[in-house]
Amino acid sequence: MNTILRSGLAVAEISSLGAELVSFRRTDTDTEYMWNGDAAYWTGRSPVLFPMIGGAAGEAVRVDGQAYPLARHGFARRSEFTLVESSDTHAVFRLSHSADTLASYPYPFHLYLTYTLNGSTLDIGYRVENPGEEEMFFQLGTHPAFNCPIGGEGSFTDYYLEFEQPERLERLFLNENGLITPGQSETMLGGDNKLPLNHDMFAHDALVFRNVQSKSVALKSRQSDKSVTVAFTNFPDLGIWQPKNAPFVCIEPWHGVADIEGFTGDIREKQNVISLPPGSQFTSALAITFN
């Protein structure tokens, strides 16, 4: 089931499966900004990554000495959410623990995604609650895929990413299992704030950046005025991804990254893992502006 949000400038469509944003169209220019999920490249559009990001070493997470099988990027993206609140411009979705989730992730939880459409900006709030009696550990990430070129204007190499401020970014490499390869990195930005895009830079999977200082990244073109700006709160890490020669690019604010190859530690030792005491909540947010 899909929920439609409307403003005077745009229409956003969210699926209850994964509480996933599947379409964002500017009605004044009839421009679709979100990837359409064509299986020739990738069926996703904007999945939420919970309770882990990327690959897990051994395809499992370990909690207090016990291994739990958990697929890459977690289970939330393939789970049916409940629509708990909606209006013309606002919708709230909830996913809670179940017997199935507890078999792969042994913590009770409530995960809420809140969408609010204001003109051509879509605010997405993320809230994780711990209703259990023990401290819980998790990672949380986003994965929106934007058409590139936007509206079919120009070519992919006309585009660049503009960070809010100058960055010194070292790209971490992923192996074929989605795990970080130890001891390998590449400088992608050495004090600039613009990263030109080309298809070859994704030959070794996603660009993975730890502890980004900027709080927004914009997808812009030298040949078009159309752009997308992704502002993020409480997401210190960032992934940039594209399958081979695909007509889209993903800008993925994260809290946490994949395991390092050979990692055998407990879930509480995962990189940038979030710890949440009983009765507490964690919040983070995106604000995506479609120009």
pLDDT-derived band at 94, boundaries 50, 70, 90: very high
Domain count, the chain: 1
Task: Give me the phi and psi of 286, to 5 degrees please.
Answer: -120, 150
Q: What is the mean pLDDT of residues 132-153?
A: 97
**CA gap 217, 213 in Å, rounded:** 11
Amino acid at 65: G
Q: Kindly state the percentage of the chain with pLDDT values over 90.
A: 96
Q: What burial letters (b/e) apply to 125-143, b meaning 16+ CB within 10 Å? A: bbbbbbebeeebbbbbbbb
pLDDT-derived band at 153, boundaries 50, 70, 90: confident
CATH number at residue 142: 2.70.98.10
**CA gap 5, 116 in Å, rounded:** 8
| Domain extent for 27 | 2-290
Q: What is this structure's pTM?
A: 0.97
Q: Which residues contact 223 (CB under 8 A, 6 or more apart)?
A: 153, 154, 155, 158
In tens, the pLDDT along 259-268 reads: 999 999 999 9
